[in-house]
Chain A
Amino acid sequence: MPIKAGSRTRILKSDIYQAILGFFLENEGSVDTPRGIATWIDASLIKVRVALEALAEMNCLKAHRTPSTIGYSCLLSKKELASLTSKISK
């Protein structure tokens, strides 16, 4: 389901969104589960799950779906990631 404009702004402004993009900026090649990413950025698993799905919906991340879990990897280049992270943090 496409993300509504209001929700998109809310997600973009949230700390968790920045933390996830920051994680992928630091570890470009990472492919990890919501639990893994929540551990690395020290955040709530439930919030991370929601944010990851939203980021996948925005085509920032790719969701590799399997019956037992979902692995997320970054679709953006380091340059695009850095630019996005800096825009959001302003």
Chain B
Amino acid sequence: MKTTLTNDKEIFDFFKSHESLRKLRVSYDFLLGHPIWWVSFKLNGQPKLFEKSLEGSYEIWHDPRVRRLRTTQAIADVLKRRSKEKSPYLFTIEKKLLNFCVPLVMDDRLIGYFGLIGLKNGISQETLDMFSEHLHLILDNCAKKEEISRLSATIRPRAIALSTVHTVHRIINSTLNLDELISRLAHLTAQVLRSNRCSIYLFEKPKKHLVCKALVGYPKTKAKHAKILVSSSGSEGRVAKTAKSVLRKSTICIPLIDEDVIGVLTVTDKKDKKGFSYFDLEILTTLAEEAVIAIKNAQLYEEQRKVTLGTIQSLAVILGTRIPNMASPEAFLRIALRMAEELHLSEEDTQALHYATLLKDTAKIGIPEEILKKPTKLTGEEYQLIREHPIKGAKIVQSFESLKTVVPIILYSREKFDGTGYPEGLKGDKIPIGARALSVINAFEAIITGRPYRNRVTLKEALDEITRNSGTQFDPKIVEVFIHIVQKEGYYKYIQHAH
């Protein structure tokens, strides 16, 4: 907290360097009879300070007379004698030399003095009043400037810190992947608090253990996923148990609280060696409050994703028991995910392909079992029913909000790269990339596992058939990726298992 003296000095410094003070001399100098102008900070009963202030006055107005002045002591004596006066006053010294002194008063507090030495005789009181009024306007302006500067010095760091918290909030909320979120949070917290180390522990059900989810700046020997008992004597255990923050010079440990404590965030070893302050605790608490919302959102999203995946897997199992020769979806799922990686699909597109691979035969639920198991050639009517299954599948899937991205993959998975497929006859890149990938997987599955109407073949024969249809039925780029994965990366062992 600044002292009044510091504030007065700042106001006085603003005053003596104020541009208007120079302009005032241009306007008034002739009118006042070319006096010597001087300005002094409050003297506090020390007349010697007045001598020093004259040097400062020379630097403002560059008047050489101020350096040759012989009345310095006499003026200082008058100032000392009349130190209680707060209104401007005229006084004479040696051979009737007329002086004018304006005590610089702010809120009934003396800041300093402004003076004129050697005023011309007969100057009117109105002129002096107007001159004093001008000086006080400048002084008011300086006081406001000082106040703004003081407020800015207090508010600016807080505003910047708040802006930082807001930005961190935006960064951590841009992902719903809990691991990524926690890792980002730990790195950003260490950055914001300028600490060398940061750790985040979350509770595991039942609430007996805190499990380490992120470590920044710790040696590799401190294992991630390490568990801490809530009953332990360390800071994390205590904070989790009491839900109260710990602030030490070397550490801040705060609870992550939703309705209850869900975890603990710790920063240690501040970079500037001054140690953590209450201000750091305030920032970290605000950060933690934002983080908890993001963590809860990610946890809810993860739970919802698991429910969706569970539903899809159940559906796939039901289909597997209904459809003859249907391979384990697990084998083809692995290939689909590896293809997504190789094709650099986004996280969202990868998840859509994942779900679509599990759900690709959903619509077969609506096809009578005798058609699915028919070993002979299908009639026109039966074939039409089979052709409709991507549309039916898409209709079933689109009723789930969380599966919207899967719909186009299922709908167009029977399209052919040369435009001769169904249901819309889309060609080339017009077919969504997920659908082009699924089309290869579908065909490969049918070839290798066999169908009631066709015998299964060897892996080599299956791959040859896929290659033969590259550019006509399948996207050549996708075939290339697929062949590479199945043939060269050892994925054939999963296929053999399914086979």
Within 8 A of B (CB), among A31-90: 31-33, 36, 40, 62, 64, 66-69, 71, 73, 77-78
Within 8 A of A (CB), among B173-193: 174, 184, 188, 191-193
Chain B residue nearest in CB terms to A69 = B170
Chain A residue nearest in CB terms to B174 = A66
Chain A residue nearest in CB terms to B190 = A29
For the complex, give the distance between the alpha carbons of A36 and B194 in Å: 20
Please indicate the chain A residues that have their CB under 8 angstroms from the CB of B272 in the complex.
Answer: 78
Please indicate the chain B residues that have their CB under 8 angstroms from the CB of A62 in the complex.
Answer: 191
Please indicate the chain B residues that have their CB under 8 angstroms from the CB of A14 in the complex.
Answer: none
Please indicate the chain A residues that have their CB under 8 angstroms from the CB of B168 in the complex.
Answer: 31, 71
Task: Name the contact of B160 in the complex, choosing from A27, A64, A66 (C-beta under 8 A).
Answer: A27
Known contacts A64-B188, A73-B191, A78-B272; decide if A29 and B170 are in contact (CB<8 Å).
no
Chain A residue nearest in CB terms to B283 = A29
B163 lies within 8 A of chain A by Cβ: yes
Please indicate the chain B residues that have their CB under 8 angstroms from the CB of A68 in the complex.
Answer: 170, 174
With an 8 Å Cβ cutoff, the count of chain A residues facing the other chain is 19
B171 lies within 8 A of chain A by Cβ: yes
Complex contact B164–A31 (CB within 8 A) = yes
Complex contact A31–B160 (CB within 8 A) = no
Please indicate the chain B residues that have their CB under 8 angstroms from the CB of A33 in the complex.
Answer: 167, 170
Known contacts A36-B163, A64-B188, A77-B271; decide if A31 and B171 are in contact (CB<8 Å).
yes
Please indicate the chain A residues that have their CB under 8 angstroms from the CB of B167 in the complex.
Answer: 31-33, 36, 69, 71
For the complex, give the distance between the alpha carbons of A65 and B157 in Å: 24
Chain A residue nearest in CB terms to B194 = A29
Please indicate the chain A residues that have their CB under 8 angstroms from the CB of B164 in the complex.
Answer: 27, 29-32
Please indicate the chain A residues that have their CB under 8 angstroms from the CB of B160 in the complex.
Answer: 27, 30, 32, 40
For the complex, give the distance between the alpha carbons of A36 and B156 in Å: 12
- Min Cβ gap A42→B in Å is 12
- Min Cβ gap A15→B in Å is 20
For the complex, give the distance between the alpha carbons of A30 and B193 in Å: 9
Please indicate the chain A residues that have their CB under 8 angstroms from the CB of B156 in the complex.
Answer: 40
For the complex, give the distance between the alpha carbons of A68 and B167 in Å: 11
For the complex, give the distance between the alpha carbons of A78 and B271 in Å: 9
Within 8 A of B (CB), among A10-34: 27-33
For the complex, give the distance between the alpha carbons of A81 and B188 in Å: 19
Range for the number of chain B residues in contact with chain A = 10 to 19
Please indicate the chain A residues that have their CB under 8 angstroms from the CB of B157 in the complex.
Answer: 27
- Min Cβ gap A90→B in Å is 26
For the complex, give the distance between the alpha carbons of A37 and B192 in Å: 15
Chain B residue nearest in CB terms to A27 = B160
For the complex, give the distance between the alpha carbons of A64 and B187 in Å: 11
Known contacts A36-B163, A36-B167; decide if A29 and B193 are in contact (CB<8 Å).
yes
- Min Cβ gap A9→B in Å is 29
For the complex, give the distance between the alpha carbons of A31 and B168 in Å: 7
Complex contact B192–A66 (CB within 8 A) = no
Tell which of A29, A32, A64, A68 has the most Cβ of chain B within 10 Å: A29
Known contacts A66-B174, A77-B271; decide if A29 and B191 are in contact (CB<8 Å).
yes
Please indicate the chain B residues that have their CB under 8 angstroms from the CB of A36 in the complex.
Answer: 163, 167
Please indicate the chain B residues that have their CB under 8 angstroms from the CB of A66 in the complex.
Answer: 170-171, 174
Chain B residue nearest in CB terms to A23 = B160
Complex contact B171–A29 (CB within 8 A) = no
- Min Cβ gap B213→A in Å is 19
Please indicate the chain B residues that have their CB under 8 angstroms from the CB of A30 in the complex.
Answer: 160-161, 163-164, 192
Tell which of A31, A62, A69 has the most Cβ of chain B within 10 Å: A31
Complex contact A32–B191 (CB within 8 A) = no
Chain A residue nearest in CB terms to B157 = A27
For the complex, give the distance between the alpha carbons of A68 and B170 in Å: 8
Binding site for B on A (CB under 8 A): 27-33, 36, 40, 62, 64, 66-69, 71, 73, 77-78
Binding site for A on B (CB under 8 A): 156-157, 160-161, 163-164, 167-168, 170-171, 174, 184, 188, 191-194, 271-272
**4 closest residue pairs by CB, A with B:** A66-B174, A71-B167, A29-B192, A36-B163
A-B pairs with beta carbons under 8 Å apart, 30 shown: A27-B157, A27-B164, A28-B194, A28-B271, A29-B191, A29-B192, A29-B194, A30-B160, A30-B161, A30-B164, A30-B192, A32-B163, A32-B164, A32-B167, A33-B167, A33-B170, A36-B167, A40-B156, A62-B191, A64-B171, A64-B184, A64-B188, A66-B170, A68-B170, A71-B170, A71-B171, A73-B188, A73-B192, A77-B271, A78-B271
- 17 more A-B residue pairs beyond the given contacts A30-B160, A33-B167, A73-B191, with a C-beta to C-beta distance below 8 A: A27-B160, A28-B194, A29-B192, A29-B193, A30-B161, A30-B164, A31-B167, A31-B191, A32-B163, A32-B164, A36-B163, A66-B174, A67-B174, A68-B170, A69-B167, A69-B170, A77-B271
